[in-house]
Structures are given as C-alpha cells and as structure tokens.
Amino acid sequence: MKKNPNRSTALIAHAYQPPAGFAAMQPAVHKASTIYFADTAAMKARTWKEKTGYTYGLHGTPTTFTLEERIATLEGGKQTLLVPSGLAAITLVDTALLKSGDEVLIPDNAYGPGKEFARHELARWGITHRSYDPMNPASLAAAITPATKLVWLEAPGSVTMEFPDLTMLLMTVRGKGIVTALDNTWGAGLAFDAFSIGSEGIALAVDVSVQALTKYPSGGGDVLMGSVTTRDEALHQAIKATHMRTGFGVGANDAELVLRALPSLPLRYEAQDRAGRTLALWWAERPEVAQVLHPALEGSPGHAHWARLCGQAAGLFSVVFDQRYSERQVHAFVDALELFKIGFSWAGPVSLVVPYDLAALRPGAPHRGTLVRFSLGLEDVADLIDDCVQALGALNER
Ligand SMILES: *Cc1c(COP(=O)(O)O)cnc(C)c1O
C-alpha cells in the first residue's frame, strides 16, 4: 500500500494494531461473516470439521467456540453445537439423524413445537413420528419398530411435569441401534447428568442432550439460543455436517450474553429452585387447588424417579385448579397477578405464568380443569406469595 493512502482507504486499511495481552474477566466478542485467510493455500486447505482455525463466521468464531466448550462442560459432554433457538436444537437433531422411511418416537408430554415439527415437516419428508407414554416404559417398547432411528426423552414433560424413569426408558432402547436424544432444558445440566444416568452398576447415558440456552443459561429473557451436545465424535460430526448445511449459526453478541450469564447459572438455578418449591408447597395447601405438579413434591407424577436421579429442580411448576373454577375464573386470577407477567419461556429474572386447558393438553390426565404454569424469577418469594393471595380474589368473583 502507498505511504499516504486516501482518507477513505486509510480508515479501512489502518495500520494501528492495539498491544496484545489484554487480559480481562470476560472473553472478547469476535464478530464476523468474513474471516481472512493468509494466502490462497490457507483458503484451499481450510477445514470446518475441526476447531483448528476459522473459515467463515457461520462456522464459528473464538466467541462461539468458547461458549460451545463451556456448554459441553456444563452438560458433561464432549462436543457442543450452537443453534439460534432451543427449537432449532430439536429440529437440527431430527434433520441430521432421520431420513425418509425412518421413525422417531416422541414422549406425549414433550415440548409442543418439537412435536409440531415432526407432524408438519418430518411428515412431508416421509419420516413418521409416533408418541409414547414416558411414564410407561412398556409403551416405548411397544412403539419401537425396525424403522425407529431416534427416541426423544424429556425430563420432566413440558407443562404437566411428569418425571419419567429415564433409566428404564434408556434400558428399553439399549442395544437396538437407536439414537437417544434428551431435551435437557429443565435440568440445565445441573439437576442431573444426562451422560451418566446409570443405576446399580449399569452405565447408561443419552447420546444427545439438547438445551434451550434461552432459559437458564441465558437467564435474562433476552436471548434465543440452543445447544446440541454429544460425547461421540462420529455422532457429533454427523450432526455438525447438517448444522453447516442448514446455516444454523449464532451471533457473537448473543453468545456473549450467555457467556456472561454462565458463572451465575448454578446460583440462579438454586435460588429459583428454592423459590419454586416454596411457592409450590404454598399452593399445595390451598383449597382452590386440585393438584400441584412439581417433580420435587411428593405425590407429583414421577416424584420417585426425580428423587432417585436429581438433587435439584428448576423453578417451574404447574397448578391444576379445582374443576369448580371455570376457565374464565382462572383467567381472571391470572389477569389479576401483578408481579407475575403473562408470557412464554422461563428462567429469566421476572416470574411468569401461562394458563393451559388441561383436557386439551393431555386428554388422559387424571384431573380436568384449568392449569396455570408458574415459572419463578428472582423476586422475593414472600412478595410472589402476596401477589397470588391478592389475585385469588379475582378467582372467587363470579
Ligand atoms: C423453551 C423450550 C424449548 C425451545 O426453546 P426456544 O429457544 O424458545 O426455541 C425447547 N424445549 C423446552 C423443554 C423448552 O422449555
């Protein structure tokens, strides 16, 4: 370049390099679509399969590589891929591992949008999905056919919170050449170890653990991201190939927000668990309530399985209101809440509620009526209880 380039060029091809060795608490945020190669030979020799260098922003930056390694550690896994949402983590696993003619089995209480993906998208590609009752391992055994290639697990189920016997479910699938994938969003890598579920000397593990990093790892209610973690290099590479071809990259600013929140994850999870159990126990004593669905509460479906596997629980539970309350009355209660906001997702600082019609959600459920799912934020739990007390006034208005 000439000595005195024009100003517009000088602003771009600038000679200044800051000193190396900037050591600070948080990792740097590296943003790029383009990444330079030193020469054409380096460009020709590029490989996106190993994390030995950089090829294009979509396939990784120092920021996303750093977050991938930390999520792998959180999950007790070896390799992690980042995707733009928790739902994208589910759809990536489906599209990477299934082909026309294959079958995938999904628990009937699984996260709804994952089931919708199977119903509408996988079906168009000639991939069949069938649901099984995760609380009855015989139902899983009966659903397996030679075409079954992937079995989804979720612990506990979304909204109705049944905690399955993961050991028995994994035993049922073992040795059949079927990949098992767990939606581990609730456990967040903290409540139990997805890659070590063995009991009585039997080593059992899921093959794939996905998380909505949107929830606890982000903790802010302001990031959408998902992760796909494995321990087997060949399985990781199979999913990674589809990850690359589908263009499921994440932005460095979002990765930064999750990196910043990870150190406080165990503290937040514990605090939200404590608050969740306090509020769930309070609801369990209320005369308006038919059932509280929280795996750490005795009498909740799958409590014994939870107790065997987990020490902790997410700050998330559902309350089934007694049938004598109409849907309109329960909605009036929800609308009267002030600290609890009405909205999807969970694990941010603000407590949230979502009402569901239990009969529509789970036709076979033992109770009828309207269910309200509570997710605990980080407010003082005494204030949250006061909020519920004041809003119960609206429930009883006719
Ligand atoms: C929220 C959630 C997802 C999806 O995460 P998004 O980032 O919102 O797409 C998947 N599974 C479970 C269990 C969830 O709670």
pLDDT over 70, % of the chain: 98
- Rg for the chain, CA atoms, rounded: 24
Architecture of domain 265-395: Alpha-Beta Complex (3.90)
**pLDDT value of position 398:** 67
Q: Average pLDDT of 94-111?
A: 97
**Which residue's CA is the closest to the ligand 1 atom numbered 15?**
185
Tell me, using a 6 A CB cutoff, whether residue 91 lines ligand 1: no
**Burial class for 171, CB neighbours closer than 10 Å (0-12, 13-18, 19+):** middle
pLDDT band at 395 (very low <50, low <70, confident <90, very high): very high
Residue the block writes with tokens 């906001």:
341
How far is the centre of ligand 1, averaged over its atoms, from the C-alpha of 137 (Å)? 24
pLDDT over 90, % of the chain: 91
**pLDDT value of position 347:** 96
User: Residue 86: which H helix or E strand, with range?
Assistant: helix 86-97
Residue the block writes with tokens 């200044």:
16
pLDDT of 221 higher than 90: yes
**pLDDT value of position 111:** 96
Q: How far apart are CA 37 and CA 285, in angstroms?
A: 65
- Nearest-atom index, ligand 1, CA of 158: 13
**pLDDT value of position 212:** 98
pLDDT of 199 higher than 70: no
Tell me, using a 6 A CB cutoff, whether residue 111 lines ligand 1: yes
- Nearest-atom index, ligand 1, CA of 345: 1
Domain 40-264 has CATH 3.40.50.2020: no
Q: How far apart are CA 113 and CA 118, in angstroms?
A: 9
Q: Average pLDDT of 344-355?
A: 97
The pTM of the full predicted model, rounded to 2 decimals, is 0.96
What are 282-300's pLDDT values in tens digits? 999 999 999 999 999 999 9
Give me the residue spans of the domains in the chain: 40-264, 265-395
How far is the centre of ligand 1, averaged over its atoms, from the C-alpha of 346 (Å)? 9
**pLDDT value of position 367:** 66
**pLDDT value of position 396:** 84
Alpha helical stretches, state H, 218-294 = 233-246, 252-261, 265-284
pLDDT band at 363 (very low <50, low <70, confident <90, very high): confident
How far is the centre of ligand 1, averaged over its atoms, from the C-alpha of 87 (Å)? 6
